[in-house]
Every structure is written in structure tokens, then in C-alpha cells.
Amino acid sequence: MLPKELAKKVRYIQIYTSRTVNDVLAGEYQSAFRGSGMEFDEVREYQPGDEVRSIDWNVTARQGHPYVKRFHEERELTVMFAVDLSASGRFGSTGQFKNELAAELCALLAFSAVKSNDKVGLLLFTDRIERFIPPQKGSTHAMRLIREVLGFQPHGSGTDIPGALDYLARVIRRHCVLFLISDFQGDGFAKPLHALSRLHDIIAVSVADQRELALPDVGLIELEDLETGESVVVDTGSRHVRDSYAALAQKHVTALRDTFRSMGVDQLELTTGEDYAKRLVRFFRHRERKRTQHG
């Protein structure tokens, strides 16, 4: 992407996502994610309805009548985006590449985090670690992350999700909310993901394109694996070929869902060309319901 095109795209994303955050996601983000803990606020006189467990017995003894401790949730979070920039992300059949969808999602989440005074950081990876930007606060920092996701030219073309997770385990010490954004074409990531999920709140964002899920009937076409360069000619005029392709794609989707569900990692599924803001709102509300049910 040329510098002028990149600036135009970044500006579009800034305007669109800022409006969406203000109009749609303002409260949803805060409700979906817990803060880092409870912080002492004040001691005040007991009022009917207060929890007996919150009584401060030392102050109560000194004052001669009940006082309770009040706490508030420490809101500040650290939010990390781990974005897969492998060659398979440079595909899109709807006028939007998967990598562009990933960038727009990062922008929505980053601006939501900034509005809540949270820190945001970024890891870009392929079959190697491409770039790491430590978490910081502020809209200027958030814009830098968006420019990096959109404009960074990776050196690798393959996918090494386990390597990215191992790297994050070494550099991220404080508890964070981690969005792992990938088409998950690689494998071997289940074990390191499970280990990291014990320390951090991980959301797996699986990004796909409609043509990866189903083929149209357009006769003979050449399909190329962007990561390996291998290509094959496919007859999409054959119903058997189209059905087999769709079945393989669905098998991959189902396997991913089962993997994430088995380790208690939340999954957000996105497809290029769709209204991802609405899907994100539904995801946030689902997390809030889970949070309420589990206290």
C-alpha cells in the first residue's frame, strides 16, 4: 500500500471507528472486560442493604456503630493485539483483504480501550516475530498501531502461531486482554494457547473470506496457497468439487470452535464484507452475560 493510499485508509478507519465507538460500542466494551482488581475507596456508615461481610470491625469498634468498607473496580486494563500478517491474509473477494478487516477490528478495539483509559499494545507475526510495540495509553499511540497493522511489510509469508504465543508469554508480565487475530491456517498452537490462557484473558478472532468457505460455480479456476506458492486447478462447475470444498472448510471451522471451547477461550468469528461492528456488539454482550452469571 502506497503512503498516500495508506494515509487515506488510516483516515477512513479513524473516522469510521471513532464514530462507531461513540455511537455503538461506548458502554459495551467496558461491560465486557473486568478491570485488574478491586481498589479500596472509602469507609462509610452502614446502611440497610449493605453486605454484612463488608463491615469494617476496627472502625465499628472505635465509633460505636457499624461502618463498612467500600471498593471500586480498578478499570485500567492492558489490551494486546497479536495479528497474523502471513500471506494468506492478503486475500479478499469482497473488496476487503482479511488483513484490512483485522486492522479495522484493531482500530475499533483500540479506540474503545483509549476511551476507557486502557493501554494498548501490538505484536505482528508471520512465521517469525515481525514487530512488537509495548502497551501505552492515548489516541496517538492507538493510531500508530493501526498504521502498523495496515502498512507493515512483513518479511515472512508463513504462519507460526506457537512462536507468537511463546514470545508473548516472555514479554507480557502483567495480566492482559489478548486478541489473537488470525485465519488460523497454521497448527500446533493448542498447547501454548492453553498455557497462556491461564495467565491472560484471550479472545481468538478467526478471520475468513467468503470464498474460503464456499466456491461459486464459475468453471475452471486456479487456486493458489499464498503462504507456500502451491497452486491447483479446480473445476468449480462440478457440484461434487464444490460440496467437497465446502465440507473441508466447515471441518476446519468446526475444529477451531472445538479447540477454543475445550480450553475456555472465547472465539469471535469474522468474515470479510460483513458488518463486523454488530457482531462485535453481540460478542461483548455475550461476555457480559457470562460475567454476570459467574459473578
Q: Give φ, ψ of 99 to 5 degrees.
A: -65, -35
Q: Which three cell numbers stand for residue 201?
A: 484473558
d(CA 261, CA 267): 8
> CB-based contacts of 141: which residues, under 8 Å, 6+ apart?
120
Q: Are 97 and 266 in contact (CB under 8 A)?
A: no
**Is pTM beyond 0.85 here?**
no
pLDDT per residue of the chain (295 residues) written in tens, 0 to 9: 556 776 777 777 777 777 777 666 657 777 777 655 445 557 788 888 777 777 888 888 888 888 787 765 555 789 999 999 988 877 766 677 888 888 888 888 888 888 888 999 999 999 999 999 999 999 899 889 988 988 889 999 889 999 999 999 999 988 999 999 999 987 899 999 999 999 999 999 999 888 888 888 888 877 777 667 778 888 888 899 889 888 998 999 999 999 999 999 999 999 888 888 888 888 888 888 876 666 5
Decide: helix, strand or coil at residue 213. helix
Tell the burial category of 75 from Cβ atoms under 10 Å away from its Cβ (0-12, 13-18, 19+).
Answer: middle
Domains of the chain: 3-32+77-293 (3.40.50.410), 37-74 (no CATH)
Radius of gyration of the chain measured on its C-alpha atoms: 23
Tell the burial category of 23 from Cβ atoms under 10 Å away from its Cβ (0-12, 13-18, 19+).
Answer: exposed
